[in-house]
Chain A
Amino acid sequence: MSTLDSKVPEGPIKDKWTTYKDNINLVNPANKRKIDIIVIGTGLAGGSAAATLAEQGYNVKAFCYQDSPRRAHSIAAQGGINAAKNYQGDGDSNYRLFYDTVKGGDYRSREANVYRLAEVSANIIDQCVAQGVPFARDYGGLLDNRSFGGVLVSRTFYAKGQTGQQLLLGAYSAMNRQIARGKIEMYNRHEMLDVVKVDGKARGIIARNLITGELERHSAHAVVIASGGYGNVYFLSTNAMGSNVTAAWKTHKKGAYFANPCFTQIHPTCIPRSGDYQSKLTLMSESLRNDGRIWVPKNLEDAVAIQEGKKKPTELSEDERDYYLERRYPAFGNLVPRDVASRAAKERCDAGFGVNKTGEAVYLDFKSAIERYGKEQAKIHNEENASSARIYELGKGIVEAKYGNLFQMYEKIVDENPYKTPMMIYPATHYTMGGLWVDYNLMTNIEGCYAIGEANFSDHGANRLGASALMQGLADGYFVLPYTIGDYLSNDIRTGEIATDTSEFSEAENSVKEILEKLVNTNGTKPVDYFHKKLGKIMWDKVGMSRNATGLKEAIAEIQELRADFWKDVRVPGGINEVNRELEKAGRVADFLELGELFAKDALVREESCGGHFREESVEIDGEQKGEAKRDDVNYKFVSAWEYKGVPSDAQLHKEQLIYENIELKQRSYK
Chain B
Amino acid sequence: MDLTLKIWRQKDAKSTGKMVTYPISGIEGHMSFLEMMDILNDELIEKGEEPVAFDHDCREGICGMCSMFINGEAHGPDRKVTTCQLHMRMFEDGETIHIEPFRANAFPVLKDLMIDRSSFDRIQQSGGYISVNTSGNTQDANALPIPKKDADLAMDAATCIGCGACVATCKNSSAMLFVSAKVSQYALLPQGQVEAKDRVLNMVNQMDVEGFGSCTNTGACEVECPKGISIENIARMNRELMKATV
Contact = CB atoms under 8 A, between A and B. Distances in A.
A582 B51 contact: yes
Contacts of A578: 12, 111
A104 B236 CA distance: 46
A55 B129 CA distance: 14
A142 B142 contact: yes
Given A162-B159, A581-B53, A75 B62 contact: yes
Nearest to B202: A180
A174 B34 contact: no
Interface stretch (A63-71, A335-343, A488-496, A631-639): A63-71
Contact of B114 (A87, A238, A579): A579
Interface residues of A, number: 83
B63 A73 contact: yes
8 contacts: A52-B134, A66-B65, A123-B138, A126-B139, A129-B191, A130-B191, A173-B128, A573-B51
B57 A135 contact: no
A127 B34 contact: no
Given A73-B58, A166-B158, A412-B87, 8 more contacts: A70-B162, A76-B62, A134-B189, A137-B148, A165-B159, A241-B57, A274-B30, A279-B34
A317 interface: no
Interface of B: 12, 28-32, 34-35, 38-39, 41-42, 44-46, 48-51, 53, 55-65, 78, 81, 85, 87, 89, 110-111, 114, 116-118, 120-121, 124-126, 128-134, 136, 138-142, 144-148, 151-152, 154-155, 158-159, 161-162, 185-186, 189, 191-192
A226 B89 CA distance: 38
A152 interface: no
A479 interface: yes
Nearest to B120: A68
A14 B142 CA distance: 25
B58 to A, nearest CB: 4
Given A67-B55, A159-B155, A277-B39, A85 B134 contact: no
A414 B85 CA distance: 11
Contact of B81 (A52, A186, A412): A412
Contacts of A165: 62, 159, 161
Given A162-B159, A211-B110, A176 B121 contact: yes
A176 B141 contact: no
A669 interface: no
Contacts of B61: 409
A524 to B, nearest CB: 11
Given A165-B159, A177-B131, A275-B28, A120 B136 contact: yes
Given A52-B134, A137-B151, A412-B81, A280 B142 contact: no
A585 to B, nearest CB: 10
Given A176-B125, A275-B31, A132 B186 contact: yes
Contacts of B129: 131, 173-174, 176-177
Given A141-B147, A277-B38, A68 B51 contact: no
A581 B51 contact: yes
A70 B64 contact: yes
Nearest to A53: B134
Interface in A152-187: 159-160, 162, 165-166, 169, 172-174, 176-177, 179-180, 186
A139 B148 contact: yes
Interface string A259-285: 000000000000000110111101100
A658 to B, nearest CB: 28
Interface in A45-100: 48, 51-52, 55, 66-73, 75-76, 85, 87
A574 B140 CA distance: 54
B134 A55 contact: yes
A606 interface: no
Centre residue among B28, B29, B114, B155 by max chain A CB count within 10 A: B155
A136 interface: yes
Contacts of B58: 71, 73, 75-76, 240-241
Contact of A279 (B28, B49, B59, B114): B59
A141 B38 CA distance: 47
B134 A240 contact: no
B145 A67 contact: no
Contacts of A529: 38, 42
A318 interface: no
A470 B189 CA distance: 23
A68 B123 CA distance: 12
Contacts of A574: 50
B147 A579 contact: no
Contact of A479 (B120, B134, B154): B134
B240 to A, nearest CB: 15
A415 interface: yes
7 closest cross-chain pairs (CB), A and B: A141-B145, A173-B129, A134-B155, A129-B141, A134-B154, A280-B59, A126-B138
A73 B57 contact: yes
Nearest to B28: A275
Contacts of A71: 57-58, 63-65, 162
Contacts of B64: 70-71
A140 interface: yes
B151 A277 contact: no
A65 to B, nearest CB: 9
Given A70-B162, A141-B146, A173-B130, A277 B155 contact: no
Nearest to B60: A282
A143 interface: yes
Contacts of A186: 121
A76 B61 CA distance: 9
A160 B155 contact: yes
Contact of B142 (A87, A282, A530): A87
B132 A176 contact: no
A527 B49 CA distance: 12
A131 B182 CA distance: 13
A306 to B, nearest CB: 17
A277 B12 contact: no
Contact of B133 (A55, A66, A67, A579): A55
A132 B189 contact: yes
Nearest to B65: A71
Given A132-B130, A173-B129, A179-B125, A280 B60 contact: yes
Query: Which of B65, B110, B118, B161 has the most A CB atoms < 10 Å from its CB?
Result: B65
B95 to A, nearest CB: 18
Contacts of B144: 129
A482 interface: yes
A68 B117 CA distance: 8
Nearest to B64: A71
Contacts of A571: 45-46
A387 B189 CA distance: 45
Contacts of A126: 138-141
A173 B30 CA distance: 37
Contacts of A85: 141
Interface in A559-590: 571, 573-574, 578-579, 581-582
A278 B53 contact: no
A123 B132 CA distance: 13
A478 interface: yes
A538 to B, nearest CB: 20
B63 to A, nearest CB: 4
Contacts of A174: 129, 132, 134
B148 A141 contact: yes
A142 B145 contact: yes
A51 B158 contact: no
Contact of A162 (B28, B55, B62, B110): B62
Contacts of A188: 118, 121
A413 interface: yes
